[in-house]
Structure 1
């Protein structure tokens, strides 16, 4: 529609210029009686130009509104993806730490919970609690 309105606007502007030159120029081919009608046509052309400008502004406004709605939708998607990433990043960190091969007998600074019988379930429960706490926090903030 924008392209059509621009094309139509160019056509009507050239028509307005042509009629205006016919009204200004003194030529024996155009009598005063015809000039009255040409003035009427000129007024109609000006009204058409105003209408085209209004239509063009409406099309641009609708396009801007569409782009804003599209941007808002994209922002909502990005917000959800960010929340999901925020929840899983600390869990991935914990899983990465415990995924390393430590030998608790080699050094006292190694993880002693690796040799605990309940070490694996304890880390899983810790990760579950951490994930649930973040979900509760996001719900409380009304981000989720």
Structure 2
């Protein structure tokens, strides 16, 4: 069977007022974790916090503070983070709703950005998604995600090693780096989609099975799902590139335009995969139709070969007293010889016309 996409339980919020903190998504049992990174050109520190209150005991320098939360299903912890950084209740509500479409909202003092991480395994049906919510302030960045991933690991490593512009720039450049890492992760997704499409193409050109058609439909659903994520992401990045909010400096907007170009490239590659899948579906149906036609032709030829024998047997089986060969000792064998001779002639004719090859 084709695996179905998991449905989000939106009914939990039915009748609740705006800003009600209700988690919408798969039920999780993992323990949330808070990771704090403070950095500046002169220093770097990284620690895991037991709770939000631990922030009060930490000195706040003049650098950038990056707080990452794994486990957005904990509404109480999210509410505490929101209260600590002065976030609007609607922001916390959107973070808890893990079925948000990519978007950017300007709250004057900070930007709220919603993105999605999309990962596809090499086995059919192995699809995972994770909503990434970013809050970009003047001197801080908050990231919220349900499960840990290695997407942001290179950024943390660059901060530790003091390489590049990260340690010498503000929160806007950190936000750009996070956006760039998410968009770049889509290239590996497209690559795996292409590999699976090429594998299906080899199956179709070889010996297609009913499971091949199922694989095409599963892959098409994944392409559609990814496309629904990328189109809003493109508009989100376009909004950030225009600089309407004013949180990104002009020099950082140049890098954002590069991320936007990467998104367009990913979309174009995704369209190529979709066209390939549509072509594979047409080839599969054509191949299946040709196989059915060959089987029907074989059955028709076999039935036609037996028609003369049936006709001869019917003639000699008629209920008349005077029929040639009926009283002769060799009549039966002569009738069989006639049937075999006509069948041999018809077989030769069919072979000559390539109906038996």
TM-score normalized by the length of structure 2: 0.36
Q: Which residue of 1 aligns with 2:327?
A: 115
Write out per-residue CA displacement over residues 94-130 of structure 1, whole angstroms, 9 at most, x where no aligned residue: 21222233223xxxxxx24333333222211111110
CA-CA distance at 1:53 after TM superposition: 0.8
Q: 2:258 aligns with which of 31, 34, 40?
A: 40
Bigger Cα displacement from structure 2, 55-64 vs 1-10:
55-64
Q: Which runs of 5+ in 2 are unaligned?
A: 1-218
- 1:128 matched to which residue of 2? 340
Name the count of aligned residue pairs.
138
SS at match of 2:325: helix
Could you tell me the TM-score, scaled by structure 1's length?
A: 0.82
Query: Mean alpha-carbon deviation: is it higher for 19-28 or for 40-49?
Result: 19-28
| Aligned counterpart for 1:78 among listed residues 296, 299, 319 | 296
SS of residue in 1 equivalent to 2:326:
helix
Say which structure is richer in helix: 1
Q: C-alpha displacement at 1:65, in angstroms?
A: 2.7
Larger strand proportion of the pair: 2
C-alpha distance in 2, partners of 1:67/1:130?
Answer: 38
The RMSD of aligned alpha carbons is 2.0
Structure with the greater alpha carbon radius of gyration: 1
Cα contact 2:243–2:253 (8 A) shared by 1:
no
Q: Which 5+ residue runs of structure 1 have no aligned equivalent? A: 105-110
Q: Offset of 1:25 from its aligned partner?
A: 5.9
Structure with bigger RCO (C-alpha 8 Å, 6+ apart): 1
